[in-house]
Structure 1
């Protein structure tokens, strides 16, 4: 009999694996609805939806392997990273979904959230004031006009699978929707700056690297306290705090 593997679990959602089936349990039904709709529209390989009975979504595993993980070494040849970049470009060039996603948050609201979070990080002694101030200045480059694209919204390196030089599957679409394309590129390369050129080569066109750097800082600043409060370690080598330190 297959064992039940807890892939991730916290107060908002949990993902379990039983053999080749993943069961995603989410307290927010809207996130699962977005995931199902986004996978149906995305022009890239995605898991097959087996059934959807709120609050549970059952999907198949995708073949292949990831190119690494945050806090660990990156793997794969430059061509595989370029293939991931090309798949991300296909997604961004696809017709827009009807809803806004995580990467499409209002700039003014996001700037206010960043301001509040930076104050809390310093006041509560989570991070040094100089580190927060420097990354806040870097992050401000993300606050600019952008053309909406079909974005994944949580394109962590662990969510993209490759095999034989091709992308075989992209998972976890609950944050998808209209958004800033460079947010996806930054999320995918977070903690793996040395792979950015390979991803951009596959993605094609002009990419504003300064904005990607801004999203690295912005995403990390907003994530640190949440990660700590939910049992994760952003201070582990290569993770969010190291990303912030690299901007110094």
Structure 2
């Protein structure tokens, strides 16, 4: 039986590479994209399907879920990858509205999409959810590596990923029968960091692909990088 996989923000960067790799692994991949032109172009190049999906718009999310239900009847793997890094400033120069907008995408976007697709995941025999978080949201790593300089790690982005990792943990307990995990791509060269990352998108997608293809007895509620478990 084919594996139906949806990757939000799958038209570029780590999401696009994840789509390529999972399609090569035999998944029927759908990429969600906010921009229809970019979504169609990426899907055509990759040989995958695409959905118009703006994770900050509940109607767009609901419409995407309805389309997947109509065309496939279920979803086997959900990769919540779409994110923004729009607040590049020290906290004391950041407005509450700026923070709310970034949390709306990076945290509430994953919640909207997950909740809309849970009924379709429950129709799967092997459901998986992978939330693309980041080590910069880890308390332990922040303390160990002194990741407090906003010029290196923008604080609002880090806060949003801390919240996403906790959301992952809560879903892993709330959704028995679905393996729900968080992935740390590592410092990967993407648009989010202006191409400054030290890893390739293939390296950055390693943990995501691993978690998306877990065996049925695989873990749930874990935070993994390509090198192993990431401390909370």
Rg larger in structure: 1
Q: With the length of structure 2 as denominator, give the TM-score of the two structures.
A: 0.28
TM-score normalised by L of structure 1: 0.26
